[in-house]
Structure 1
């Protein structure tokens, strides 16, 4: 299994947060923050919180992925790789 598959099954390699982090792309961070903030109704998601290397790898995580994602919390509590 690819290591960059998130706990929820999404492909972290194609995630805008990871791409923005790898490329140090502040414009993409801003765009991603606005979208995620709107989709999740969480105004605390801002461009400066969009830094992530992937859900299941060592390194920085977005505020949402590290602290708010119920799927990631569940998977980690149960010792699984994904919810699948």
Structure 2
């Protein structure tokens, strides 16, 4: 499995938050903060857009660090990803992502 596949199967390597962090791109941080604020109906500031990847050591966005139920579940169970879980395809936590993103499901089944 690729190192940058998140617990939910999304590819952190292509995540704009990770790219903004890796390239220290403040304009991209502003763009993401605006998009995520509108999408989540919450105030997300450019300063919050710092993440090195869901399963990587290092900085995470506040959501990825402590609010993401999927990541917290995988960590608590000691899984590499949700692909290790026997309840993957019936899990409500990861269901929205893998139901709407077939690539994420494929990533978890690799």
TM-score, length-normalised on structure 2?
0.71
| Deviation by residue 1:9-59 (Cα, 9 ceiling, x = unmatched) | 11011000000001110010011111122222221x210010111110111
Moved over 3 A (4+): none
Gaps of 5+ in 2: 84-110
Max Rg structure: 2
Partner of 2:82: helix, strand, or coil?
coil
Matching residue of 2:63: 64
Q: Identify unmatched segments of 5+ residues in structure 1.
A: none
Q: Comparing both structures, which one devotes a greater share of its residues to helix?
A: 2
Q: 1:5 to 1:48 in 2, by over 3 A?
A: same
In the other structure, the counterpart of 1:10 is: 10
Partner residue in 1 for 2:78: 79
Equivalent residues in 2 for 1:36-55 (5 A)?
A: 36-43=36-43, 45-55=44-54
Q: CA RMSD in A?
A: 1.0
> What TM-score do you get using the length of structure 1 for normalisation?
0.91
